[in-house]
């Protein structure tokens, strides 16, 4: 079962991280250049239909795999081994992603306009960097953790 869950996790990570890289490296620069937040909103509206389920799959599959690798979830929060540290880093990245995304959704997007677009750009950059951090940390599991 682990290989199937792992495969789903990787596919979802591809969608999540790839989508944010496209957003950060192609869509966002265009929106900033044109000073047009609608460019960003149009991408987000289409991407969320795929990106949010991908994130949900990553969270569910990631928690399941973490339990397989480190069955004592208390060790996730006081890591002593390389695998436990990798799980802890993944959880910290998830918390960071949730905080940035919640702030963007509740405070930035409702007031998004040409003037606030640079603030949204910082949020996009942060979530993109966090998603790349997820991938790099995930790679560490193959080599024993962090």
Which of 97, 91, 86, 93 has its CA nearest to residue 137? Answer: 86
Rounded to two decimals, the pTM is: 0.93
3-state secondary structure of 35: coil
Give the residue numbers spanning the domain of 83: 2-142
Contact 50, 19 (CB under 8 A): yes
* Residue in 14, 11, 20 with CA at minimum distance from that of residue 125: 20
Give how many domains the chain has, as a whole number.
1
| Residue 69 contacts residue 87 (beta carbons within 8 Å) | yes
For 50-103, what is each residue's pLDDT tens digit? 999 999 999 999 999 999 999 999 999 999 999 999 999 999 999 999 999 999
């Amino acid at each position: 079962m682990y290989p199937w869950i792992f495969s789903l996790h990787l596919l979802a990570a591809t969608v999540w991280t790839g989508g944010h890289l496209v957003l950060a490296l192609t869509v966002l620069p265009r929106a900033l250049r044109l000073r047009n937040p609608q460019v960003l909103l149009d991408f987000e509206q289409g991407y969320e239909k795929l990106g949010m389920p991908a994130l949900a799959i990553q969270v569910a599959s990631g928690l399941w795999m973490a339990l397989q690798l480190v069955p004592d979830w208390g060790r996730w929060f006081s890591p002593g081994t390389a695998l436990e540290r990798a799980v802890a880093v993944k959880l910290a990245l998830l918390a960071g992603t949730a905080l940035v995304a919640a702030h963007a959704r509740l405070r930035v997007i409702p007031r998004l306009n040409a003037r606030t677009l640079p603030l949204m750009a910082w949020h996009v950059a942060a979530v993109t960097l966090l998603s790349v951090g997820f991938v790099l940390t995930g790679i560490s599991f193959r080599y024993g953790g962090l």
